[in-house]
Amino acid sequence: MKIAIIGAGIAGLAAAVRTASAGHEVDVFEANSYPGGKLSEFVQDGYRFDAGPSLFTMPQYVEDLFRAAGEDMEPHFQYQKLPVLCHYFWEDGTRLQASGKAEQLAQDMEHIWGVKAEKVLAYLADSRQKYRLSGRIFLEKSLHKAGTWLNTGVIRSMLMIPRFDLFTTMNAVNERYMDGNEKAVQLFNRYATYNGSNPYRTPGLLTIIPHFEYGIGAFYPEGGMHRITQAVYQLGQRKGARYSFNAPVEEIRVQNGHANGIRVGGEWRDYDLVISNMDAWFTYRKLLPGQPAPERSLHQEKSTSALIFYWGIRRSFPELDLHNIFFSNDYRREFEHLAVGKISEDPTVYINITSKYTPADAPEGCENWFTMVNVPYNSGQDWDALIAETRRNVLAKLSRILGTEVEPLIACESLLDPRSIESKTSSHLGALYGTSSNTRMAAFMRHPNFSHRIQHLYFCGGSVHPGGGIPLALLSGKIVAEMIASDY
């Protein structure tokens, strides 16, 4: 079969590998001049930056992709497990190096905060159990196909719903296990931001996320995050997928209820199937004129976005690691600001420094800082003013906590904000993860991986099931490929 894939984000690249490996004729069309979407890179004044996602978890999904293609991964892609997951900093001088070993983390939290180690371990065991009972089933299969719900494993999981904390919040679960210790709760509340959600609203089931790091591990790809894109793109090439860059798709042709072609460069091309890795909102609004859209799904609450300062720093900070978090004093207030389209004057700041593991990413004695703040999606704010104010607040915060004036150390600077996220990656309103997970039904309201109305039209990527982030995007490509194999 001839398959057109719209968009060379990581989900589209994964779908290309799987469908080409299955013997289909696959063409991938990308509006940008490069593959990867958010998972890209750039170099400025001798500093290399991963432009987008900076945390690598669930590497088994990359391994699975190579297995599906019948190739050994090791010659093409390597990674290492992180001994320390993150360095945490607070304004009062508290610091915690979160070990990748759950037992060590629990001991450190007891030593620093007095939270009983057995409580921390019980929390992580609960996270593991939730993932075992629900995560693999509901993340790796479509929620919109009857066959998923007739599976005996799903039926068993449904009987366990009372244990999933669906009817309480992530924050409430964290307070229960951490005896209300403010900093310990804050540390685990931050996992809501992994899919652009609010820990004071998102269901307690989302406490499965810490298991991804403490149960399975956090990892670093040799050469940086962009190596994931390169490895999957090159794998697709070897399997025969064809890629066209600077080639935005203009329209999907629908005849007699079937998607059977696309228009590129003003020219129609015939295909048996179409897979859209473009944001679902833009797929309907731009590529399917005149076709009815699933308005209820498209109008779900958007996830948060990001404001990223890429700073080349003329100094090395030994107290920093690959992943670093500088927490706000009032986490709840920070999310209250985000909920109304604002940025707190005291934001939590995340810094990723790949030169800690790949020294060539910065000049000798220097560091490449990917400095990110969670911000609201674009709803017409005065972003120029917000960016200037937030930059001042971030620099002041980092300077206070590190005891060094940071701004004079900036050798070069680039910026990514919700407006440029939307323009570069076609993410509606600059929302990083499509829709949020702030309600119990959010997972079921995400757009499915296929169209109910248009035959031969499929969807992958962060705006559809199972959600945003590298592991879930890879899974969406797998789900689509399995659907195509089943349907045809």
Residue 162 has pLDDT above 70, yes or no: no
Nearest in space to 109 (alpha carbons), one of 98, 101, 124: 98
pLDDT digits (tens, 9 = 90+) for 321-342: 999 999 999 999 999 999 999 9
The number of beta carbons lying within 10 Å of the beta carbon of residue 12 is 32
CA distance 249 to 256: 21
Q: Find out whether 441 and 414 touch, Cβ atoms under 8 Å.
A: no
> Where do runs of H (alpha helix) occur along 350-382?
none
What's the pLDDT score for residue 463?
Answer: 94
Residue 198 has pLDDT above 70, yes or no: yes
Residues in the chain: 488
Percent residues over pLDDT 90 in the chain? 88
The number of beta carbons lying within 10 Å of the beta carbon of residue 298 is 18
What's the pLDDT score for residue 133?
Answer: 82
pTM of this structure: 0.94
Q: Give me 283's structure tokens.
A: 């797929």
Q: Which domains can be identified in the chain, with CATH numbers?
A: 2-37+226-299+442-487 (3.50.50.60), 102-215 (no CATH)
Pairing of strands 79-81, 218-221: antiparallel
Q: Which residue's structure tokens are 């969807």?
A: 459
Residue 302 has pLDDT above 70, yes or no: yes
What's the pLDDT score for residue 167?
Answer: 87
Neighbouring residues of 250: CB distance < 8 A, sequence distance ≥ 6: 262, 263, 264, 265, 266, 287
> Where do runs of H (alpha helix) occur along 344-449?
383-402, 418-425, 442-445
Nearest in space to 43 (alpha carbons), one of 233, 306, 310, 221: 310
Residue 81 has pLDDT above 80, yes or no: yes
Q: What share of the chain is helix, strand, coil (3-state, %, to 5)?
A: 40, 20, 35
CA distance 225 to 55: 8
Residue 294 has pLDDT above 80, yes or no: yes
pLDDT digits (tens, 9 = 90+) for 429-465: 999 999 998 887 776 678 999 999 999 999 999 999 9
Q: Is 286 exposed, middle or buried (0-12, 13-18, 19+ CB in 10 A)?
A: middle
CA distances from 145 to 54, 234, 272, 317, 446 (A): 32, 32, 22, 51, 13
CA distances from 417 to 81, 310, 323 (A): 30, 11, 20
Is 253 in a helix, a strand, or coil?
A: strand
Which strands make up the sheet holding 349-352, listed edge to edge?
95-99, 84-89, 323-326, 349-352, 367-375, 305-313, 410-416
* Torsion sign, CA atoms 47, 50, 56, 60: negative
What's the pLDDT score for residue 446?
Answer: 86
The number of beta carbons lying within 10 Å of the beta carbon of residue 15 is 35
What's the pLDDT score for residue 166?
Answer: 83
Q: Which residue's structure tokens are 């909920």?
A: 339
Residue 160 has pLDDT above 60, yes or no: no
Alpha-carbon dihedral angle through residues 354, 412, 8, 278, given to the nearest 10 degrees: 110
